[in-house]
């Protein structure tokens, strides 16, 4: 039993560097940036991909545009776009994320 716990602990320790926590999500800014830049989305033939829209990121006291990109769809998940939320007399950025949904609903959406 002890050996099993040691292996689990070691595995968790080895995987820890792969889990990053973004500072950008916690920075409170006084003004939200301009509306998103209108991007020309190149169509691709693969229905298994989803367009993740670009976003403004606040770094070093300025906003930088991060362009959108294609990402493989995840079965049973939908992408929820990031958004600015009013908080602490300013705004914080909530990053987009993949939200788990019922697989039957997902199949109806993407079939």
CA pair distance 86, 72, nearest whole angstrom: 31
How many Cα atoms sit within 13 Å of 23 on the Cβ side? 3
CA pair distance 52, 76, nearest whole angstrom: 17
CA pair distance 17, 13, nearest whole angstrom: 8
Report the chain (111 residues): mean pLDDT per 10 consecutive residues.
54 42 61 86 82 88 91 91 88 91 85 72
Length of the chain, in residues: 111
**pTM for the full model?**
0.62
H helices present in the chain, as ranges: 2-15, 103-110
β-strand partners of 20: none
């Amino acid at each position: 039993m002890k050996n099993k716990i040691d292996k689990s602990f070691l595995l968790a320790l080895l995987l820890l560097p792969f889990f990053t926590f973004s500072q950008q999500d916690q920075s409170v800014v006084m003004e939200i940036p301009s509306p998103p830049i209108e991007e020309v989305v190149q169509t691709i033939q693969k229905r298994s991909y989803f367009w993740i829209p670009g976003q403004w990121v606040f770094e070093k006291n300025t906003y930088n545009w991060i362009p959108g990109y294609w990402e493989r769809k995840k079965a049973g998940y939908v992408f929820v776009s990031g958004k600015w939320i009013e908080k602490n007399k300013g705004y914080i950025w909530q990053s987009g994320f993949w939200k788990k949904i019922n697989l039957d609903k997902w199949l109806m959406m993407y079939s």
